Amino acid sequence: MPVSTNNTASRKSLDDDLFILSPRHPDSRLETDWLFLFNKLPPDQWFSADYAYKTSGWLKVHTNIRKRQRILTQISEAYQSGEYDWAEYRSQLLKRISMHILKLHQHHGVEDEGFFPEFIRMYPQLQAGFEILGRDHVRLDALLDKLQVQNDTLARSEVEDKMLAEQLHQTLVEATDLLSQHLTDEEDLVIPILGLRQG
């Protein structure tokens, strides 16, 4: 009977849904077809003894990126709220921004030149996912170039320039948004590959 078939079908899809894990944030751009490894190695196992020695290096790099990004935003907010004066703001921000930009470029380079092509060779069906991440790097590079120009201007600006600080803050906010989506999507795609590969 059609009715009972429908009921069986919807019951089955309900059961299936219970076993399908979702990526870790609602704005994930990863398609369900790309989550076959994520479902085998979900995030609650990434730090378990069987996998941590293969996964924790990558996660630690991302933790440090998030931390540096957060500190820069906090410094910028401290100036915006009047907690830091211009001299304090500049001395806290200038070197930190240069270091952050350098480390991000290095990290993206290693991924674009080495890891991502290797992962695509291992799992060609994930190519479109890695292309999304590669395009994020291009967008991030453009934001980092803008940040570098603003930071260079800040280095020359001994007289307070509120407009510059506002523009720099805006760039930091945009970088935070893009990075938080990029890093999480990347982890959902990459960490299970690292954890499940041999050796």
Q: Which residues bind Fe ion (CB under 5 A)?
A: 111, 186
Q: Please, which residue, 135 or 162, has the CB nearer to Fe ion?
A: 135
Shortest Cβ distance from residue 134 to Fe ion (Å)? 8
Alpha-carbon distance values, 88 to 13, 150, 160, 168, 170 (Å): 58, 17, 11, 16, 19
Sign of the four-CA dihedral 60, 66, 68, 70: negative
Shortest Cβ distance from residue 55 to Fe ion (Å)? 13
Shortest Cβ distance from residue 179 to Fe ion (Å)? 9
Distance CA 64, CA 68 (A): 6
Shortest Cβ distance from residue 25 to Fe ion (Å)? 16
Q: Please, which residue, 54 or 167, has the CB nearer to Fe ion?
A: 54
Q: Please, which residue, 186 or 188, has the CB nearer to Fe ion?
A: 186
Q: Please, which residue, 111 or 188, has the CB nearer to Fe ion?
A: 111
Q: Are 125 and 188 in contact (CB under 8 A)?
A: no
